[in-house]
């Protein structure tokens, strides 16, 4: 099956602000960005469409598909107490420095670690239907990077070195599970 991973479009949040799991609004450029995504997906049929529960994804998913399955497991990384704070301020904190040194295993205060996020995305992947049909998933850059790690065998560094633009469509092939074992 082919997974079409779409990052939400631009948000109405100033640059340099951590908004991860917060439900922030979309930028005024949404109509133009939507047209670009629709153009890229034109003519492709999807068996199912999944979306993060955050409105920046649900709005896009509902504009692309009549039937959307909202799934908590593909919401963005939970930065906990750091949501809506400036990245520079977070980095200045002792807990921020500790997290930046090992975000894979270190949880944000009242949030999660990257490894925790990978586990929930892996559970989502394990419950996708076994099909040869295309699946559309509207989500976030962090989640798309988790898909690259879990399906494409990217290292964590390779995944984070891969830019994921707002409104970008990334296609990956998910192998069908072997049920003969």
Reported as a single tens digit per residue, the pLDDT across 40-66 is 999 999 999 999 999 999 999 999 999
Reported as a single tens digit per residue, the pLDDT across 79-130 is 999 999 999 999 999 999 999 999 999 999 999 999 999 999 999 999 998 8
Cα separation, 177 vs 45, whole angstroms:
22
Closest CA relative to residue 73, chosen from 119, 23, 141: 119
Q: Which helix (H) or strand (E) holds 36?
A: helix 30-41
Q: Is 8 left (phi over 0), alpha (psi -120 to 50) or beta?
A: beta
Closest CA relative to residue 41, chosen from 65, 11, 67: 65
Q: Which helix (H) or strand (E) holds 60?
A: helix 55-64
CATH class of the 2-173 domain in this structure: alpha beta
DSSP-derived letter for residue 170 is E
């Amino acid at each position: 099956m082919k997974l079409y991973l779409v990052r939400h479009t631009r948000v109405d949040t100033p640059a340099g602000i951590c908004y991860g799991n917060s439900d922030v609004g979309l930028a005024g450029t949404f109509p133009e960005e939507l047209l670009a995504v629709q153009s890229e997906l034109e003519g492709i049929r999807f068996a199912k469409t999944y979306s993060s529960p955050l409105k920046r994804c649900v709005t896009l998913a509902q504009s692309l598909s009549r039937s959307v399955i909202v799934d908590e497991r593909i919401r963005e990384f939970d930065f906990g107490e750091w949501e809506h704070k400036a990245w520079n301020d977070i980095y200045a904190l002792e807990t921020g420095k500790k997290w930046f040194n090992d975000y894979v295993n270190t949880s944000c205060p009242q949030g999660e670690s990257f490894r925790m996020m990978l586990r929930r995305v892996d559970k989502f992947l394990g419950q996708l239907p076994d099909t040869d049909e295309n699946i559309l998933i509207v989500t976030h850059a962090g989640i798309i990077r988790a898909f690259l790690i879990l399906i494409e065998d990217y290292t964590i560094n390779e995944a984070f070195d891969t830019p994921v633009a707002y409104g970008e469509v990334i296609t990956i092939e998910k192998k069908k599970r072997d049920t003969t074992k």
